Amino acid sequence: MNLRVKFTKENYLKYISHLDLMRLFQRAFRRGNIPIKYSEGFNPQPKFSIANPLALGIASAQEYMDIELNENIPIEDFIKRMNQELPQGIRILDAKYIEESKSISSLISWSYYEIKFKANNIKDSEELDKLVKSWLKEDRIMIKKVKHKGKKAIEKDQDIRPLIGNIIISSQSPLASLQLINLNCLLKAGDNGNLKPTDFIDAMDGYLNIGIDFNTLNIKRLGLFVEREGKIEPPM
């Protein structure tokens, strides 16, 4: 019995690591008497997985995990028990029994983000919108990725243009009134390509020289999506 679960990770809990989030859920399963299945062996572990872990400091309105259960329990009971044990900021929003054989991690193809910031070198969101549309006409958008192999840092060029989907920009103008730019963007995620929102913002600022004030940068994930037959859909 596999249960797919949608949950939030918001407020101060955006600063806990993925490992700490896993531990938090393990405690909630135990305290809520959730009949979760355990692995075999010397050190049994609860069988659940979280899709596309977030970086520290990024909040999310919709995250997903798959849980293997020993027995069927009503969805309403599961949500109630879990939310009684979880801290504010992490809420179970929905759950659904699935027959999907593939893990949630392998299914995810896209992440949708809301990114807010101030930019010193542009006058309004319309100017940024024109710059971004022109930028996305480029055949290639290259960034430098650094991988550490032992004590060595290996630098590699990566073309991120195929990893960028739709971008929507809005704000109140003029920016002289210290209004934030609101940028919503669809970025590739998962095993077939993954673009971190921080790498996307760094690339945009580097190419367009818009003068992002990184002290004002705020990133929130609004959703995760799968791609089936060319259509982008929620995973449940």
Residues 118-144 have a mean pLDDT of 92
The CATH number that domain 2-101 falls under is 3.30.70.580
- Report which DSSP code applies to 151: T
- Residue 108 pLDDT greater than 60, yes or no: yes
- Please tell us whether the domain made up of 108-233 is placed in CATH 3.30.250: no
The pLDDT of residue 170 is 84
State the burial class of residue 75 (Cβ atoms within 10 Å of its Cβ: 0-12, 13-18, 19+). middle
The pLDDT of residue 94 is 97
Please tell me the pTM assigned to this model. Answer: 0.90
The pLDDT of residue 38 is 92
- Residue 74 pLDDT greater than 60, yes or no: yes
DSSP string, 27-90: HHHHHTT--B-B--SSS--B-EEESSPPPTT-EEEEEEEEEEBSS---HHHHHHHHHHHSPTT-
The 10 Å CB-count burial string (b at 16+, else e) for 111-127 is bbbbbebbbeebebbeb
- Residue 15 pLDDT greater than 60, yes or no: yes
- Report which DSSP code applies to 13: G
Task: Evaluate whether 2-101 and 108-233 have a shared fold.
Answer: yes
List the domain boundaries for the chain: 2-101, 108-233
Residues 180-188 have a mean pLDDT of 94
The lowest-confidence range among 31-35, 139-143, 154-158 is: 154-158
- pLDDT cut 90: percent of the chain above it: 77
Cis peptide before 74 (omega within 30 of 0): no
